[in-house]
A and B are shown apart, each in its own frame.
Chain A
């Protein structure tokens, strides 16, 4: 028997007024996997999750969860999913324990089962000590853990985690990662969105890169990095005045054309082959051109590089291309207009 995919999305479109949040997104998530949706703010990640969680109705296209259409079979979908959103959706005036007991009861557990389950989860999420305190006194990490615990009172088949670690300290982040790994081991399908390649890298079996409401690349983390290239040569200038000279010097080397990110002092060059040779040559060429540097080095590609490569724009700075409507944040976030340095981006012909 063929198991239906946990998530199947085809040509999904969602507009908010003139803003196109989802612009024909396609996606398939296999049951039992951890799937990462990677993209900048306003790329449409949250909108996609909200459509899949039956909170938003799509304008066009189809979205199915375990074969159930999110628009026409919403209640079948809701029985199989749990959602932990970007902002901890816990009741601030209830205690941690009361929150879990209430959500457990709403999920159909009887009083005793809800109480037992709440205590289990409080212990597991290191919240036992704070269980009797109002959630509004919790730290960001505690709230996020409580929110995640609320999604696990009854085992979901598919768990949505919308930027589960954004704004968390490193310790809390690692705690959340451990929980996600445990869930995956227990067979729960997880769809998580993130702005951090590192996070997708650490958790996800497969990753979709989403930008301007479309999936622009899909694969394992290694496949995505290979797409960018195995290594990147990074140059940091002392002064922006040296930029034309540095660019000219690097262009003559064996790498591809240098790219500028958000930081005007930083240039990066994809390494085609022989990183060490390129590093040596670049050092010599830049010295000959009289360019003053603060740093020069080889490293693995980062989210910035994946984005530069795939979209021609740095990830933190989604800029309008065809229409300015794309610039507004469909995730509900007001975004700064594209900054001028984005205009210096060179599109990589390769």
Chain B
């Protein structure tokens, strides 16, 4: 009636296998919660339409001549959508902690980091999906990738990587806060100012000097600037390098921190 334990795999293969298994599991969760699918899709669409039609007329005045607001906005919306999306990493992980599934995972001879990798990888895939969806909506209201397919692909990838990095921050938050509602609130408190005090929706030059100075180096600003340049043209290299530096730094700090915290959480 019972099966004996199969031989152990080398560590890296276990991490990959277990990470993939949990990625699939988390993606299944996503499609099984129709409310989640609908609202996490509707929300960024709403942002596109609101900003474009409500604020577009006013903010458009501040843009350089020849640049329309929709083209300016969409790269910002990509980053905003993915940043908001990454807060769901905290919610999903806190939920698992809450329900006791993590206890089972932790008592099993599986790769320790797989739970976090599976979570952030699934969220990375969902980020790509969200960005493609936003691009589709953007096309309907006049947005175009004018640079070329290579740059467009690079833009989508950069946004997804940025979301992946934020996911690790919010994984860490969830491992501290544990409660799903609290994790959600904590994540939004962090994400809101970060996204709004950036070049995502408005030109940084229109902000007061002190804020513009801070905002100029914000990870959201440099990422939005890089994505914008990749999508609609402009100087790419400097913002792209700054954005990648942020992404690497955040992952380098928060991945080990989260894994460390995961081992300790009880």
A residues with a Cβ closer than 8 A to B are: 50, 53-56, 75, 78-79, 81-83, 85, 87-94, 98, 102-103, 105-110, 113, 117, 120, 124, 134, 150, 152-155, 182, 186, 188
Contact = CB atoms under 8 A, between A and B. Distances in A.
Contact of A102 (B25, B99, B106): B25
Contacts of A182: 1
Pick the 4 closest A-B CB pairs, nearest first.
A155-B2, A89-B100, A89-B104, A108-B6
Contact of B8 (A53, A108, A153): A108
A56 B266 CA distance: 6
A85 B105 CA distance: 12
Contact of B100 (A88, A98, A106): A88
A78 B107 contact: yes
28 contacts: A50-B103, A53-B103, A53-B107, A55-B107, A78-B108, A78-B109, A85-B103, A88-B100, A89-B100, A89-B101, A93-B33, A98-B28, A103-B104, A106-B18, A106-B105, A106-B110, A106-B114, A107-B6, A107-B109, A107-B110, A108-B6, A108-B109, A109-B3, A113-B3, A134-B32, A154-B5, A154-B6, A186-B1
A154 B4 contact: yes
A103 B25 CA distance: 11
Interface of B: 1-9, 17-18, 21, 25, 28-29, 32-33, 99-101, 103-110, 114, 266
A105 B114 CA distance: 13
Contacts of B6: 107-110, 113, 154
Is chain A's interface secondary structure helix, strand, loop, or mixed overall?
A: loop
B104 A94 contact: no
Give the one of B7, B17, B25, B29 with max A CB within 10 A.
Answer: B25
Given A53-B107, A107-B109, A92 B28 contact: no
A83 B100 contact: no
B28 A150 contact: no
Given A54-B106, A89-B99, A154-B5, 16 more contacts: A55-B107, A55-B266, A56-B266, A78-B108, A103-B108, A105-B17, A105-B21, A106-B110, A109-B3, A152-B2, A154-B4, A155-B2, A155-B3, A155-B5, A182-B1, A186-B1
A124 B1 CA distance: 9
A91 B92 CA distance: 12
A79 B110 CA distance: 9
Nearest to B102: A89
B155 to A, nearest CB: 33
Contacts of A82: 107
A55 B109 contact: no
B21 A83 contact: no
A348 to B, nearest CB: 38
Nearest to A110: B6
Contact of A55 (B5, B101, B103, B114): B103
A102 B114 CA distance: 13
B2 A186 contact: yes
Given A50-B266, A79-B5, A85-B100, A93 B105 contact: no
B5 A107 contact: yes
A171 to B, nearest CB: 22
Given A124-B1, A186-B1, A89 B32 contact: no
Nearest to A79: B109
Nearest to B110: A106
A126 B44 CA distance: 45
A102 B104 contact: no
A330 B79 CA distance: 44
Contacts of A92: 99
Contacts of A120: 1
A108 B32 CA distance: 26
Contacts of B114: 106
Contacts of B104: 83, 85, 89, 103, 150
Nearest to B265: A55
Nearest to A147: B104
Contacts of B25: 91, 94, 102
A124 B3 CA distance: 14
A75 B101 contact: no
Nearest to A75: B109
A93 B31 CA distance: 10
Nearest to A106: B110
Contacts of B8: 79, 108
Nearest to A117: B3
A187 to B, nearest CB: 9
B2 A81 contact: no
Contacts of A103: 104, 108
Contacts of A85: 100, 103-104
A92 B101 CA distance: 9
A188 B3 CA distance: 12
Contact of A155 (B4, B9, B21, B105): B4
A143 to B, nearest CB: 11
Contacts of A75: 109
A87 B101 CA distance: 9
A90 B3 contact: no
Given A89-B100, A89-B101, A102-B21, A108 B5 contact: yes
Give the one of B5, B8, B21, B108 with max A CB within 10 A.
Answer: B108
A154 B101 CA distance: 18
Nearest to B24: A102
Contacts of B9: 108
A21 to B, nearest CB: 11
A183 B93 CA distance: 33
Contacts of B1: 120, 124, 182, 186
